[in-house]
Amino acid sequence: MPSSMEKGTAQTRTTDNQLFYDAFNASPIGIALENLEGQPIFVNASLCAMLGFSEEEMRGKHCVDFSHPEDAEKDWALFQQLRGGSIDRYQLEKRFIRRDGSLVWGRLTISLLNRTSPLVVAIVEDITAKRTADAALSSVTRKLIEAQEQERARIGRELHDDMGQRLAMVAIELQQLHEDPLILPEVRNRTRELQKQVTEIAGDIQSLSHELHSAKLQYLGITGAMRGFCKEFGEQQRVEVDFQAHDLPTPLSPDICLCFFRVLQEALHNSAKHSGTRDFEVRLWGTSDEIHLTVRDSGTGFDREVAKNSRGLGLISMDERLKLLNGTLSIDSQPKRGTTIHARVSLSSGK
């Protein structure tokens, strides 16, 4: 017969198991225990409520049965790696199919229960509201950027067609006044100086017009437009910009071209303003499935942690533009060791 100590130990284990099950079932986050074949063994109430199935119904299914077809392949590939021992945990955001056919977004975390158990723990956090809010914010951001581009184009055309032409007329009249034989020599000299100033102002306005709305992007493509901008920027700011491009597929979508052109503009302006150096390197290239842009300087650099807490609108604008194309912006910078800004977008994003 078991001793009183053994009975007490058995009762303690039973109590512990019950406490574990109660906590498991009461969790507000969906949890399931699955075998290495991907079949649910235990499912808590939250996950059942999230997907609309009873625990018994879920036990009779495979984990892939709950996945949206576009997400199932990636999930199962990662699960195979987990089962094979190459990883012991993974996480992804995916769409789950509810019993009524509707979709719910979940953040899925899969991990081995322990290294000896043939069970895995699946934790599903419902992020449908977050994804909906993110989508709404993305839509607003896109509309704001589109409105900004329309306003840039309008102001750029007005500067070029109206202000530029008016200044050109003033320069012509000053030239005519300068050539008038009846004016005094000191007045002639002064008109020459004014004509030079007007011509410089007209050139600055033309450069500003091109920055606001570059027709070169449409007619010359991204490489020609970027090369032209780097040349104009270097002359205007009195800096050296080494621009090189290679392996770019054609044609590129207008969205990708405009996004990268704006990132280049913002990155060069930031570098010229803050780096303390006069030499910059711009590289634009393509791979089989991505487009890359880097803007590099060897200047003072900055502390990335400080920048995270005090980002200017320039970095935010670059980041938001890339997010709209599912792209990424990374910044590698250290004090006194220069800065590299790297933008990357999938070729499929602009289609």
Q: Do 134 and 97 reside in the same domain of the chain?
A: no
The answer to whether residues 38 and 79 touch, using CB atoms and an 8 Å cutoff, is yes
The answer to whether residues 64 and 46 touch, using CB atoms and an 8 Å cutoff, is no
Residue 75 clears pLDDT 70, i.e. is over it: yes
Q: Do 222 and 333 reside in the same domain of the chain?
A: yes
What pLDDT score does 5 carry?
A: 42
What pLDDT score does 9 carry?
A: 43
CA distance 93 to 105: 7
What pLDDT score does 180 carry?
A: 82
For the stretch 187-203, pLDDT in tens is 888 888 888 888 888 87
Q: Do 101 and 147 reside in the same domain of the chain?
A: no
CA distance 116 to 122: 17
Show Cβ contacts of residue 45 under 8 Å, excluding neighbours closer than 6 positions: 25, 26
Question: What's the DSSP call for residue 67?
Answer: B
Q: Do 193 and 245 reside in the same domain of the chain?
A: no
235's tokens? 């002359």
Q: Do 220 and 348 reside in the same domain of the chain?
A: yes
How long, in residues, is the chain? 351
Strand partners, 109: 91, 123
CA distance 240 to 45: 64
236's tokens? 């205007």
User: Where among 126, 151, 172 does a domain terminate?
Assistant: 126
Residue 69 clears pLDDT 80, i.e. is over it: yes
What pLDDT score does 308 carry?
A: 54
Residue pointed to by tokens 């609108």? 313
Higher-confidence position of 122 and 12: 122
CA distance 327 to 340: 17
Which of 151, 154, 102 is closest to 128 using CA atoms? Answer: 102
197, containing H or E segment: helix 185-212
**Which one-letter amino acid corresponds to residue 312?**
G
User: Where among 95, 110, 126 does a domain terminate?
Assistant: 126
Distance between first and last Cα of the chain: 75
| CATH number of the CATH domain containing 289 | 3.30.565.10
CA distance 222 to 189: 44
Residue 85 clears pLDDT 50, i.e. is over it: yes
For the stretch 14-32, pLDDT in tens is 565 666 667 777 788 999 9
What pLDDT score does 311 carry?
A: 52
Least confident of 148-157, 237-246, 309-318: 309-318
Q: Domain range spanning residue 229?
A: 214-351
Q: Do 279 and 335 reside in the same domain of the chain?
A: yes
Show Cβ contacts of residue 242 under 8 Å, excluding neighbours closer than 6 positions: 279, 280, 281, 282
146 — pLDDT class (breaks 50, 70, 90): confident
Higher-confidence position of 316 and 81: 81
Q: Do 198 and 239 reside in the same domain of the chain?
A: no
CA distance 148 to 142: 10
313 — pLDDT class (breaks 50, 70, 90): low
Residue 31 dihedral angles phi and psi, to the nearest 5°: -135, 140
Is residue 34 classed exposed, middle or buried when 0-12, 13-18 and 19+ CB atoms within 10 A define those classes? Answer: buried
> The whole model's pTM is what?
0.60
The answer to whether residues 28 and 46 touch, using CB atoms and an 8 Å cutoff, is yes
- Collapsing DSSP to helix, strand or coil, 104 comes out as strand
- CA dist list (Å): 34 to 54, 60, 67, 81, 119: 16, 12, 15, 15, 6
Is residue 246 classed exposed, middle or buried when 0-12, 13-18 and 19+ CB atoms within 10 A define those classes? Answer: exposed
The answer to whether residues 242 and 227 touch, using CB atoms and an 8 Å cutoff, is no
User: Where among 126, 155, 175 does a domain terminate?
Assistant: 126
Q: Do 262 and 328 reside in the same domain of the chain?
A: yes
Work out the angle between the directed axes of helices 185-212 and 164-178 (0-180°, nearest 10). 160
Q: Do 325 and 263 reside in the same domain of the chain?
A: yes
Higher-confidence position of 170 and 239: 239
For the stretch 220-279, pLDDT in tens is 889 999 999 999 899 888 999 999 999 998 888 888 998 999 999 999 988 888 888 999
CA distance 277 to 291: 27
Instruction: Give me the number of domains the chain comprises.
Output: 3
Residue 6 clears pLDDT 60, i.e. is over it: no
Question: Which span out of 100-109, 115-124, 157-166, 202-211 was modeled with the highest average pLDDT?
Answer: 100-109
Q: Do 329 and 283 reside in the same domain of the chain?
A: yes
| CATH number of the CATH domain containing 69 | 3.30.450.20
CA distance 124 to 67: 12
What pLDDT score does 2 carry?
A: 53
Q: Do 246 and 316 reside in the same domain of the chain?
A: yes
Strands 240-246 and 279-286: parallel
What pLDDT score does 13 carry?
A: 46
Q: Do 44 and 164 reside in the same domain of the chain?
A: no
